[in-house]
A and B are shown apart, each in its own frame.
Chain A
């Protein structure tokens, strides 16, 4: 919090375009989405106004009122009232109003006025409203509301000029005489009273066309159709997984060839010895085997961000509410769970939009069962080594189908576990209500999608450069020391610390068909699942020499039996192997207990699933 800068806060209902305005003002790198309640984190940025004033801007979670129904809404209320520890009381609140959706927004404006804090109303998306035939008497509106009103078009250049000019004017007049805070939680009568007042103001100052967005209505007639809608949802998910597997393939091959060439270069240039082995087997083959999955991670995030920006995610929640309700999950849990396909961490954080504590906890507990992108490297490696790339029914790739199957098992187990949680823990509670705004469809902004994908890719590369690299160095060390005695027989790795650890764990994992090399790979995999692939790469590279480093997939195909491969796939559907996810569970539930519960139940499921898979597969 820099002293001397002017504090602005964006307040508004979900979908009012706060986030796009935030981006327009700060140019910050974060996503704009359509799903109500996506703004779950504190988003802050700084910018300089045309008059040269330093402004710090905070984007508060969207809310329909100051009652604070969910953790998000409480944050907004507390910041606005200056009760939030460590957060500066805003010098000016920008109350963002979607100019196409005024009734609820104006009631919020009237409620915010009661806090006595300086505020300005921003009619956002004003261009869309005008195109739909909305006409506003701005001066009269400002007089009726008793606060300044400006219009803005966040997504257009220069669309925020007037807003900046008025902010400068306001800041130049500060300090303003303080007004009393008369806000307290509204009674139902007051709520109705404010709505009547808002409706009166709208009637007096705004002319509305009696025509809703007919395109959205027409699209929804198909997309929300009881049968067609579910088919479309299934098709979208299916295409997503086929894309992850087949579109990414050429790029992945390119990356993999590049790393192999780099390893070869090191091999040719450096004399044989520890340094050569460290660079080739530890760094290049380790990090490279994870980096090749960048194309797949980009594709899955691209899909999720596109669906969010289109406004489809809220529709998916509508379609899935009853189906998920059968498993004891809330319709709103669909978005966090779908985000968990990318990574459980944003997924678990997105559960803040679920206001009911029990529903939220159930969602958090099952979110790590959704197949996150970190499992893709493991799945891809094993599938491409053991499943033939044949086409079935002419157009479906068998490998893609197996991938789809793994995702399906993940989903089914998430539903099953939540059903059990509901049944055993919360049988006596009535289900929490499901009430969700379905925003009008919007064409995604290419720039915001690109920014979102870029941020995710950067995060992945950063992880590859830090966590994964350091794990790889550790694995290389364990696999290389101690060095075999002179004249020893067999691969050097057999004498290493890694082999000792692996052999020690082998009895525990042998019933699952895991050999000691897998046992070694599972340990660093605790930090992040994708590290296991890199660890396998290093272990087999040191064991098998240069050729093995090029193609660990081929090595696995000769070293493992099919039941072992299937067993490892089953293990990774459930394995709680991600330290960061466990840490986020602890933070979001506020207790170590739920973190331990998650770890134990997932570990037990993983062990049982692998045991079952291995023994069933061996019968064939």
Chain B
């Protein structure tokens, strides 16, 4: 279901839901932990993909909410999406490096 099984990438592996404002990264995949959201894992994954959270997309956290820095507004696939950190936990990202930028 996901493409984040490569253990060597774990060092730089990060969940979008834990990142702070100003973070810029590349989406590595969707990894839904069952029970974190009220949606089934396949439903949440479908919704995230439909909103543009696809592998290889550049994602940037533009804004954070006032309480608990939640929800967040992210720029992804050319549009701005507001979502809660709870759901953003399913998005696996790596911080942008010079090398990664060249791939976009």
Interaction A to B: yes
Mark A residues whose CB is within 8 Å of B: 64-65, 67, 69, 100-104, 107, 186, 188, 191-192, 195, 199, 208, 212, 216-217, 220-221, 224-227, 229-230, 314, 317-319, 321-323, 326, 331, 356, 429-439
Contact of A430 among B37, B47, B70 (CB under 8 A): B37
Q: Are B83 and A434 in contact (CB under 8 A)?
A: yes
B66 touches A226 (CB 8 A): yes
Q: Is the CB of A318 within 8 A of B82?
A: yes
Given contacts A104-B52, A318-B73, contact A434 B81 (CB under 8 A): no
**CB within 8 Å for A229 and B83 given contacts A103-B78, A104-B52:** no
- Interface residue tally of chain B, by bracket? 35 or more
How close is B57's CB to chain A, nearest CB, in angstroms? 8
* CB of A323, distance to nearest CB on chain B (Å): 7
Q: Are B71 and A322 closer than 8 Å at their CB atoms?
A: yes
Q: Mark B46-74, 1 if CB is under 8 A from A, else 0.
A: 11111110110000001111111111010
A435 touches B83 (CB 8 A): yes
**Which of B39, B62, B65, B68 has the most chain A CB atoms closer than 10 A to its own CB?**
B65
**A67/B65 in contact, CB under 8 A:** no
The residue of chain B having its C-beta at the shortest distance from the C-beta of A63 within the complex is B50
Residue pair B66, A321 in contact (C-beta under 8 Å): no
Instruction: Enumerate chain A residues within 8 angstroms of B9, measured Cβ to Cβ.
Output: none
Specify which of B52, B55, B65 is in contact with A322 (CB 8 Å cutoff): B65
Task: Please name the residue on chain A nearest to B49 by beta carbon.
Answer: A191
**B80: contacting residue among A103, A322, A356, A437, CB under 8 A:** A437
Q: Report if B97 contacts A (CB, 8 A).
A: no
CB contact under 8 A between A226 and B82, given known A64-B50, A191-B49, A220-B73: no
Chain B 25-52, CB-CB to A under 8 Å as 1, else 0, gives 0000000000111110010111111111
In the complex, A14 Cα to B80 Cα: how many Å? 13
Q: Judging by beta carbons under 8 Å apart, are B77 and A433 in contact?
A: no
Chain B hits for A191, CB < 8 A: 46, 49-50
Contact of B47 (CB < 8 Å), options: A195, A217, A229, A433: A433
Listed by A's residue number, 12 A-B pairs whose Cβ atoms lie within 8 Å are A107-B50, A212-B75, A220-B62, A220-B80, A321-B82, A322-B68, A429-B38, A432-B38, A434-B83, A436-B83, A437-B51, A437-B82
Min distance, Cβ A227 to any Cβ of chain B, angstroms: 7
Q: In the complex where A433-B83, A438-B80 touch, is A188 in contact with B49 (Cβ < 8 A)?
A: yes
In the complex formed, the residue of A with least CB distance to B69 is A226
Tell me the nearest residue of chain A to B64, going by C-beta. Answer: A226
